[in-house]
Chain A
């Protein structure tokens, strides 16, 4: 087979793999950061400390 076929498959499948991986990584990163941002304000507004192990106590959320 000519190198063109391999190149075509590599470009398409490689491109999709890179995009998919980046997307999942960005989603996980956003998911990790978000609860902390949410909790930073909530304990103050409710006048209570977050429960131990919760995102607001500095440990962050637990990934599944």
Chain B
């Protein structure tokens, strides 16, 4: 698991380096466009942000589909879906904001009810709803199932957003990278810079999802531990009440709660697997060592 942490760190560093290079090339190196002038420089961050939003929702869709499939049902898939959707919402917000900033000098308005803009705003709202659905308290399995269904429903809007510029009259230009015909409508240094922007944003997405997934795992373990602790406390209270009632001579009859201990040990192992040895105390055996005792 230490390798996973190193991989995540390396991904983050590569993403930062890639974004730095994209900004440098995009603002100071690439030439201005014949029609758009310097405004074309927004091309190196706006489409990559939109791409990552699509990618994030695609991953959330796939993970949710796999979760609903009985053979692959696993709460880790639910956490991947949640992590990816949250990152997708951030990138959608940034796409809408950067698009609005680009639209003001190009179209003369910050916002217009253009099909692409409207469906993208709807996508943002749909996934906000999905995140709200995830935060509704309940049994983790029930919550995961309803979230997975929510993710599948929300994903319907993704192809509508992508093809909206073809299906309806739109102010927005067609996609700069056409996935159907595999054509790019920019060339030379502009194309390479945009490609670098896509790669850097994708790496950043991986890094963000990795951290969001780890956070979700920690929260899940903490929630589970909280329930265990509360249950143990209630049982201890009930036991002490019985002790008072029955007298101290019957101490040996008081049942323990052995069912809690294997569960706690299993969760401890999960945590060690998830986090590696990063948080173990200095000079101590850490949880892995102690849990075996």
Binding site for B on A (CB under 8 A): 1-2, 4-5, 7-9, 11-13, 15-16, 19-20, 23-24, 26-27, 30-35, 37-42, 44-46, 48, 50-55, 59, 61-64
Contacts and interface: CB of A to CB of B under 8 A. Distances in A.
B146 interface: no
Given A4-B105, A37-B225, A45-B261, 5 more contacts: A37-B226, A42-B268, A54-B285, A61-B279, A62-B280
Nearest to A45: B261
B37 to A, nearest CB: 8
Nearest to B232: A41
Contacts of A13: 19, 23, 45
B94 A31 contact: no
Interface stretch (B58-66, B96-104, B137-145, B167-175): B96-104
B287 A12 contact: no
Interface residues of B, number: 57
Interface in B260-281: 260-261, 264, 267-268, 271, 275, 278-281
A46 B293 contact: yes
Interface of B: 19, 23, 26-27, 38-39, 41-42, 45-46, 49, 90, 93-94, 97-98, 101-102, 104-105, 204, 207-208, 211-212, 214-215, 218-219, 221-222, 225-226, 228-229, 232, 257, 260-261, 264, 267-268, 271, 275, 278-287, 290-291, 293
13 contacts: A2-B105, A4-B101, A8-B45, A8-B102, A11-B101, A20-B208, A31-B278, A38-B271, A39-B287, A45-B260, A45-B264, A55-B281, A61-B281
Nearest to B102: A8
Contacts of A1: 27, 38, 41
B211 A24 contact: yes
A53 B283 contact: yes
B211 A23 contact: yes
B215 A30 contact: yes
Nearest to B93: A15
A12 B261 contact: no
Contact of B284 (A5, A26, A54): A54
A62 B218 contact: no
A35 B208 contact: no
B41, B49, B232 pick with most chain A CB within 10 angstroms: B41
A26 B232 contact: no
B222 A34 contact: yes
